[in-house]
Amino acid sequence: VPAAWQRPYLNVFKHFRVEEWKRSAKEGDVVALKDARLKATVYRIRGSVPASNYLQLPRTGTQSLGLAGRYLYLLFRPMPRKHFVVHLDIATEEKQVVRVSFSNLFKEFKFTSTWLQFPFVCGGAEGSASDVAARTSGHDLMGAAPADVRWTCLVLDLLSILSLYLNRRYSHLKSVKLCSNLLVKNLCTSDLVFDPGVTFSEAQHADLARRGLAPMPREMAFPVPKGESWHNLYNYIRFPPEGSKLPCDSIRKNCSGPAADSEDPSCRLTQPVMLTKAVRDRLSLIHQITSPKTVSAPW
């Protein structure tokens, strides 16, 4: 359970004063700039070699963020026609550190007992050339981000990721490394699921709290012009998808917001593809050999 100072959510960039670079580190081409669309300061991380161009929290590997919120929110936009990489180091209750990496460079899901690597599929705006191509082919387009790639709210359920893939119990987020090429507005952690598509008054009227949902805090929100819909302008990705019973092989856009019915037939094209039986069998073996009752492997 997060400490009081981390509830109901923690604005990571604000709390650790990223702009001062005392408790965070940057390497290569990392600059703060004003984004005209978001009307906010964002960090642009770019460069041909991701390992040489990054923003990292905390400053050194010997330190730990110690953030215990179940959900990590990453507000970011991959750069058009580019690749990016993100690394998360997550501590388990078994005193192990698991690295979770995702990138549109990765072609397939890979894993060991201490490392999970997920391909990230950058979908284009609805109706765009890349979106039409994906729907026509019946497959999402892997690789570099499309020209019309959107700002995205990525919600990672760290507890479920460790439990589903490695049979481990989540303790806290140790570190984050954001590598080129991307723009990032913020990072936040929370035990709450925030729905960006509703206002505070709508949430109260619909009593979303009873369903475990809350409206997006203002400092985490993307601007929505009057008469527009949040989900028509931005992407919302929750991973693993809500209600997922089996591991998924990539991180990609679900066609709906957090409260939508995942059984809607019109959504099936963009639902994450389930792992093959061979990969599930290998995961089952990992579960057995890394069970806290039998092994506590060192990092």
pLDDT value for 33: 97
> Does CATH number 2.60.120 belong to domain 4-126+142-191?
yes
In DSSP terms, 99 is beta-bridged to 89, 115
Q: Which two tokens stand for residue 281?
A: 């069998």
**Distance in angstroms (rounded) separating the CA atoms of residues 262 and 98:** 29
pLDDT recorded at residue 281:
67
203-218 pLDDT, tens digit each: 888 887 777 789 999 9
Q: Write down the domain spans for the chain.
A: 4-126+142-191
Residue 281, SS3 per DSSP: helix
Tokens of 18: 């990223």
**98 and 166 in contact (C-beta within 8 Å)?**
yes
pLDDT of residue 244: 74
Determine the pLDDT at residue 294: 36
Cα distance between residue 261 and residue 284, in whole Å: 29
Using DSSP's 3-state secondary structure scheme, residue 49 falls into: coil
Nearest to 248 by CA among 126, 48, 108: 108
What pLDDT, on the 0 to 100 scale, is given for residue 125? 63
Q: Return averaged pLDDT per consecutive 10 residues of the chain, 299 residues in all.
A: 90 96 97 96 97 97 95 97 98 97 96 97 69 50 90 97 96 98 97 87 80 87 93 94 82 60 33 55 62 39
Q: What is the pLDDT of residues 44-64, one digit of tens each?
A: 999 999 999 999 999 998 999
pLDDT recorded at residue 61: 87
Looking at residue 81, what DSSP letter applies? T
CA dist., res. 97 & res. 171, Å (int)? 10
